[in-house]
Amino acid sequence: MGDEQGVKNEALEIIAMAQLLPRLVVFDLDYTLWPFYCECRSKREMPKLYPHAKGILSALKAKGVDVAIASRSPTPDIANTFLVKLGIKSMFVAREIFSSWTHKTDHFQKISQRTRIPYNQMLFFDDENRNIEAVSKMGVTSILVRNGVNLGALRQGLAKCAQNGRKTD
C-alpha cells in the first residue's frame, strides 16, 4: 500500500487501536522521512518522502497528535526548503534542524521547552541507533527505522508507548 490516502486510513486504524497515544511524535529527517542526506542534495531538486511518511503524518495530525522534527543537519536551509516543497512544513509544531556535535538530546531539550511536553509523553523515530540510545535515556520512547518510517514502525512505536506508559503508572 503506497498511496497516501490508503496509508493514512491504515495509520488511523493503528492509532485508533493504540492503548496510549503519545502527545508528540518526533521524526528525524534524513533516512527517516526521506531517503537521502540533505547535504548531498540541491535546493533546486524536488525531494520525495518514503512511501508511508506523508500518510502517517496526516493520520497523526487528524487524531490530534502533534508532530515535530529533530534533525542533525549541516544544511538546515535545504531541509526547510524540502519541507516547503513537500507541503508538510506547517504540520510540525517544532522544527529543530541544526548541526549538533552532541547527540539529539539538544534537539529534544529545545522541543520540550517549546512544546512543554515531557519526554515520557514523546515518541521518536530515527535511523541511527546512537540517537535512539541517547534519546531513550531521556525517557523518550524511541524506535529505530531501517528503511524510513512506515506503518510497521508506527505500530511498534505505539505499542512501546503503551508498555512504557504502564511502567510509569
CATH code of the domain covering residue 120: 3.40.50.1000
Domain count, the chain: 1
Q: List the domain range (segments joined by +) for residue 79.
A: 4-168
Per-residue pLDDT of the chain (169 residues; tens, 9 = 90+): 458 899 999 999 999 999 899 999 999 999 999 999 998 889 999 999 999 999 999 999 999 999 999 999 889 999 999 999 999 999 999 999 988 666 789 999 999 999 999 999 999 999 999 999 999 999 999 999 999 999 999 999 999 998 887 654 4
Separation of CA 42 from chain center: 23
CA–CA dist 85, 105 (Å, integer): 28
C-alpha 138/C-alpha 130 separation (Å) is 13
**169 belongs to the catalytic site:** no
pTM for this predicted structure: 0.94
- Active-site residue, from 28, 66, 126, 127: 28
Three-state SS sequence of 9-77: HHHHHHHHHCCCCCCEEEECCECCCECCCHHHCCCCCCCCCCCCHHHHHHHHHHCCCEEEEEECCCCHH
Smallest CA-to-CA distance from 13 within 168, 154, 134 is with 154
* C-alpha distance from residue 63 to each of 10, 15, 88, 118, 161 (Å): 13, 8, 16, 19, 16
Note if 77 is an active site residue. Answer: no
Q: Which of 30, 66, 126, 127 is catalytic?
A: 30
